[in-house]
Structure 1
């Protein structure tokens, strides 16, 4: 398998998994803002667990990048698309929770802050993948 495929797989697993974990955390904070510290702790543990496998794929990708024969444009575009879709899903979830009447008022600033943090989390592995495509 070509090394750039490993970066695509890593980006897909990382962004999809992190998006799922973050969206669940956002929902839980909207309902129980008083437990936000516990929810965020669980979310970061979930993110760490989700990123374990993609990091292994990143290592495999960098090990074989010199022998890669694939054009790096298509993998870079796929990585960007996957990251953008999952960032959009997080934004949509956050927006729905912020306009939802059942969301507690004290949860809204927490939701906004967590949304911003989640963008950094969702784009971390894809940035590594795009850099790998650029250096190939």
Structure 2
């Protein structure tokens, strides 16, 4: 069960952060002068939405034990990789669609920051899965 705690933490971190990204990048596309406010809203939202996933990560590390066979980690690892690919693809698409020329630089910068924020918990989860190898 322990590998799935890390998968749950990654999913619970990524879904709200991607929703926040979508809302805030649309605001940034409409009015690029709101960059400071949009980034502030994004950081506050990320801090709030990562509370439960961080608790799940701590719980997962406290209950961690090696698995009997490596095949027990295949499904959680595939789910995590799918989540990571989905998040990067989602952010990449939002960066490319309907961006006015005057907002391109700000949207690109915001997208890069958001990519690193959305991948933080999944990277920790992947490392935890490697630590569970027999």
- TM norm structure 2: 0.90
The one-character-per-residue Cα deviations of 1:68-120 (angstroms, maximum 9, x if unpaired) are 5671222111111112112211111111133xxxx3x3321100111111111
Where in structure 2 are the equivalents of 1:76-115 lying within 5 Å?
76-98=77-99, 103=100, 105-115=101-111
Q: Which runs of 5+ in 1 are unaligned?
A: none
4+ residue stretches of structure 1 with deviation over 6 A?
A: none
Give, in whole Å, the separation in 2 of the partners of 1:114 and 1:61. Answer: 31
| Alignment RMSD (CA, Å) | 1.5
- Picking from 78, 102, 115, the partner of 1:119 is 115
- TM norm structure 1: 0.89
Q: Contact (CA 8 Å) 1:62, 1:132: kept in 2 or not?
A: yes
How many aligned residue pairs are there?
Answer: 130
Give, in whole Å, the separation in 2 of the partners of 1:97 and 1:9. Answer: 32
SS of equivalent residue, structure 2 residue 22: helix
2:35 aligns to what?
A: 36
Q: Contact (CA 8 Å) 1:25, 1:43: kept in 2 or not?
A: yes
Q: Which runs of 5+ in 2 are unaligned?
A: none
Answering whether residue 132 of structure 2 is matched by residue 133 of structure 1, we say no
Give, in whole Å, the separation in 2 of the partners of 1:67 and 1:17. Answer: 30
Give, in whole Å, the separation in 1 of the partners of 2:68 and 2:37. Answer: 46
Q: Contact (CA 8 Å) 2:66, 2:131: kept in 1 or not?
A: no
